[in-house]
Amino acid sequence: MTRGKPTEIPLSFEVGEEAWLDARNVNLKTKSPKLTDRRLGPFKVTEKISDTAYRLELPTTMRVHNVFYVGLLSKVKKDEARKWENRPPPITVDGEEEYIVKGITDSRETRKGKWEYLVKWKGYGPEESTWEPRENLKNAQKFLLEYKKSLKKKALDAAKALKGGAVS
């Protein structure tokens, strides 16, 4: 008699518990793989749909369906949860709340011809990145310059690849 692999008992979560979400199948619209995390969250489990599917409480910036297969979820260790609870609070600059920028990962031109930048915030996951107009980034000029340099480098590298060598 032959035996197959022992079947793994799937993870189970309680309502109110937090879970990490595997980021592989979630399109976060970022051009910078360096700033993209492998898992998102942690997110609160709001409902058990079945033994293999759970509903998560996602931020409004994530425009994806909120029910996930249990294989895409992983448990949050107590220490990890505490780390995320201590997100940096906004600082007050000129009487307005501001958050600390970690990086700029993308840009787009609006219908009105203005530019917006996808900002990754320090202490927050990529699912909470937001599109910000240039005027909101007065105190993040360093990150704007870094982003523009990276775009120029990518364009130069692409041109070199097309010509098969050096570009002057």
**17-28 confidence digits (pLDDT tens):** 999 998 877 776
Round to whole Å and give the CA distance between 79 and 82: 5
Round to whole Å and give the CA distance between 95 and 105: 27
Q: What is the CATH topology of the domain spanning 91-162?
A: OB fold (Dihydrolipoamide Acetyltransferase, E2P) (2.40.50)
pLDDT: which is higher, 97 or 166: 97
pLDDT-based confidence at residue 138 (cuts at 50, 70, 90):
confident
Instruction: For residue 158, give both structure tokens.
Output: 């692409």
pLDDT: which is higher, 61 or 144: 144
Class of domain 18-85: mainly beta
User: Could you tell me the end-to-end alpha-carbon distance of the chain, in angstroms, rounded to an integer?
Assistant: 70
Q: Cβ of 33: how many Cβ atoms within 10 Å?
A: 7
What is this structure's pTM?
0.51
Peptide bond into 42 cis (omega under 30): yes
**Residue in 82, 81, 87 with CA at minimum distance from that of residue 122:** 87
pLDDT: which is higher, 103 or 125: 103
According to CATH, where is 2.30.30 located in the chain? Answer: 18-85
Tell me what the mean pLDDT of segment 102-130 comes to: 88
Q: Which residue has the tokens 């523009």?
A: 148
Residues 6+ apart with CB under 8 A from 56: 19, 21, 41, 43, 44, 45, 46, 66, 67, 68
Mean pLDDT of the chain: 81
According to CATH, where is 2.40.50.40 located in the chain? Answer: 91-162
Tell me what the mean pLDDT of segment 119-132 comes to: 85
Torsions phi, psi for 133 (to 5 deg): -70, 155
Residue-level pLDDT at 128? 83
Instruction: For residue 120, give both structure tokens.
Output: 């990754």
Round to whole Å and give the CA distance between 14 and 21: 15
Residues 6+ apart with CB under 8 A from 133: 114, 115, 116
Residues 6+ apart with CB under 8 A from 143: 101, 103, 104, 119, 137
Residue-level pLDDT at 157? 82
Segment 34-72, tens digit of pLDDT: 656 788 888 899 999 999 999 999 887 788 889 999 999
Percent of the chain at pLDDT > 90 equals 31
